[in-house]
Amino acid sequence: MRFYTKQHKFYCGIDLHAKKMYLCILDETGEIRLHKNINTDRELFLKAIHPFREDVVVAVECMFTWYWIADLCNQEKIPFVLGHALYMKAIHGGKAKNDKIDSRKIAVLLRGGMVPKAYVYPKKMRSTRDLLRRRNHLKNKRAELFAHIQNTRSRYNLPDTLGCIAKLQNREGVVERFNDPSVQKMIATDLSVIKAYDPIIAKMERDITNSAKHHDPVSHALLNTVPGIGKILSLVILYEIESINRFPRVQDFVSYSRLVKSTKESNGKKYGSSGKKIGNAHLKWAFSEAAVLFLKGNKPGKKYLDRLARKHGKGKALSILAHKLGRAVYLMLKNKKPFDQDKFLGL
C-alpha cells in the first residue's frame, strides 16, 4: 500500500458521483475552508477551488466517474490523487455515512498523508485499454454460452460428446442431438447469440489492432515470443501494465496481477488468505489464459505441467504456471530480452 504524503496549503477531498460532487477543502491547520455540494461540472468545480489554487491537492475515491476530473486536474496543473477504493472502504467505517461526511474524511486522510494511492492510468492509452476490456467481457459471455451447451449435454447424459463447438464447422447438428423440443429451442438460442457475437468480436479485434498505437512496440514483440501469447492477448497484458517501470520488483508485479495469495497473520498464527480482490483482475485473467494456451501443442510445456500436477494437482499446477509466466513477462520487459523456453522450464 502506497500513501500520498506530500504537504500542501490546502487539501480538497471530493465524494464524486455522476451528477453531484461534495467538496471539502481543509487548510494546513485542519480548518474547513469550503464544504459544499455542487453539480458535477468542470466550470463549477474550477470556480469552487479557485480561491485555493495557489497550492491545493485534489483527491477522489477510485470509482467509475474519475476519468474526467483526473484529466481536468492534469490539464490545469493541479496535483491529483486517486484513492484505492478497497483500502478506503475499510477506512471509511463509521456510525453515520453520507456524502458530506465522506468528503471530509477524504480531505482529512489526504492532509494526514493516509490516502492509499491507486494508479492514475494515462489518458492516451485509456480508451484502447477499455476497448480491450469490453472485448474480453463479450468473449467471456460467449464462453458462458458454450459452457451452458456442454453442461446441458451432461445434464441429459448424451452418449457422445459435442466436440469443440467453438469451431463453426462443429456446430452443425448440435440442436438435433437433443430430443426435447424445449431443450432444442434453448440450445438454438445459445447458438444464435454466439453467431451474433462472432462478427462483433472479430470487428472489435480489428479495431483494437488499428487503434493500439501508444504502447511500446519492442515490448509487444517480446511478448509475442511467448508460446500462447498472441496478438490480442499481448495487447491486453501491455495495456493493463502500461509501463513495467511502475513495479520496482517482480514481487510487486505478480502481487498486482493477483498471481500470489497474501496471508492474514497475528501473534504468529495464520488465519487464511486475504486481499483476493486487490490487484488487477484483467491481468489475472490474461496470465491464466496464457498458461492454458502455453500448453497447446507444446510437449515440453505439457511435461512440465504433468510434473507439477503430480505434486500439487492440476488446478494448482496451472496457477503455478500462470505465476511463473507472470514473473517471466516482468523480467522480459524489464531486461528487454525474448522468451527462453528452455530456461523457463529448467531444461
Report pLDDT digits (tens) over 118-176: 999 999 999 999 999 999 999 999 999 999 999 999 999 988 788 889 888 889 999 99
Which residue type occupies 119?
Y
* Nearest CA among 104, 81, 105, 73 for reference residue 92: 105
Q: Is residue 235 part of a domain?
A: yes
Q: How far is CA 297 from CA 194, 289, 290, 300, 345, in A?
A: 26, 15, 13, 9, 15
pLDDT for 172-205, tens place per residue?
A: 999 999 999 999 999 999 999 999 999 999 999 9
Q: Summarize the confidence of residues 197-221 as an average pLDDT.
A: 92
Confidence category of residue 263, pLDDT binned at 50, 70, 90: confident
Whether residue 77 is found in the same domain as residue 160: no
Asked if residue 155 and residue 65 are part of one domain, the reply reads: no
Same domain flag for 259 and 200: no
pLDDT at position 59: 97
Q: Are 238 and 301 in a shared domain?
A: yes
Asked if residue 89 has pLDDT above 80, the reply is no
Residue 253, CA distances (Å) to 10, 104, 261, 335, 343 in order: 34, 33, 13, 15, 20
- Looking at the fold, whether 148 and 172 belong to one and the same domain comes out as yes
Domain identity same for 148 and 170: yes
- 211 has a pLDDT exceeding 90: no
Q: Is residue 179, in this structure, part of any structural domain at all?
A: yes
198 and 244 together in one domain? no
Contact between residue 59 and residue 106 where contact means Cβ atoms under 8 Å apart: yes
Question: Does 145 fall in a domain?
Answer: yes
Q: Are residues 228 and 341 in the same domain?
A: yes
- Whether the predicted pLDDT of 282 surpasses 70: yes
Query: What contacts 231, CB < 8 A, 6 or more positions away?
Result: 209, 224
Residue range(s) defining the domain that contains residue 54? 10-111
Task: Identify whether residues 107 and 133 lie together within a single domain.
Answer: no
Percent of the chain with pLDDT over 70: 99
Q: What is the pLDDT of residue 90?
A: 66
Q: Is residue 4 part of a domain?
A: no
CA dihedral 229, 235, 240, 246 (to 10 degrees): 90
Give the distance, in angstroms, between the CA of residue 314 and the centroid of all CA atoms in the same chain.
25
E-assigned strands of the chain? 10-16, 20-27, 32-39, 56-61, 80-83, 262-266, 269-274
CATH label of the domain that carries residue 38: 3.30.420.40
Q: Which range (84-98, 223-237, 292-306) has the least confidence? A: 84-98
16 closest CA partner among 50, 52, 44: 44
Specify the pLDDT at position 163.
Answer: 85
The cell numbers describing 339, all together, are 522468451
Task: Count structural domains, the chain.
Answer: 3
Give the domain-ending residue among 111, 146, 163: 111
Please state which of the ranges 187-191, 272-276, 280-284, 331-335 shows the lowest mean pLDDT.
Answer: 272-276
At CA 146, angle to CA 310 and CA 300, rounded to 5?
30
* pLDDT in the model for residue 270: 76
Is 117 a member of any domain? no
Rg (CA), the chain: 25
Give the pLDDT band (50/70/90) at residue 271.
confident
- The residue type of 16 is L
Looking at the structure, tell me whether residues 192 and 138 fall in a common domain: yes
Averaged pLDDT score across all residues of the chain: 92
User: Which of 111, 132, 159 is where one domain is finished?
Assistant: 111
Contact 171, 191 (CB under 8 A): yes
Residue 276 has pLDDT above 80, yes or no: no
In the listed set 111, 137, 157, which residue is the last one of a domain according to the structure? 111
Residue 347: predicted pLDDT: 64
Cell numbers found for residue 268? 504468529
Query: Is 80 exceeded by the pLDDT of residue 19?
Result: yes
Residue 1 forms part of a structural domain: no
Q: Does residue 2 fall inside a structural domain?
A: no
Task: Give dist(CA 274, CA 338) in Å, integer.
Answer: 34
Taking each helix axis from N to C terminus, what angle separates 123-155 and 231-241, rounded to the nearest 10 degrees?
A: 130
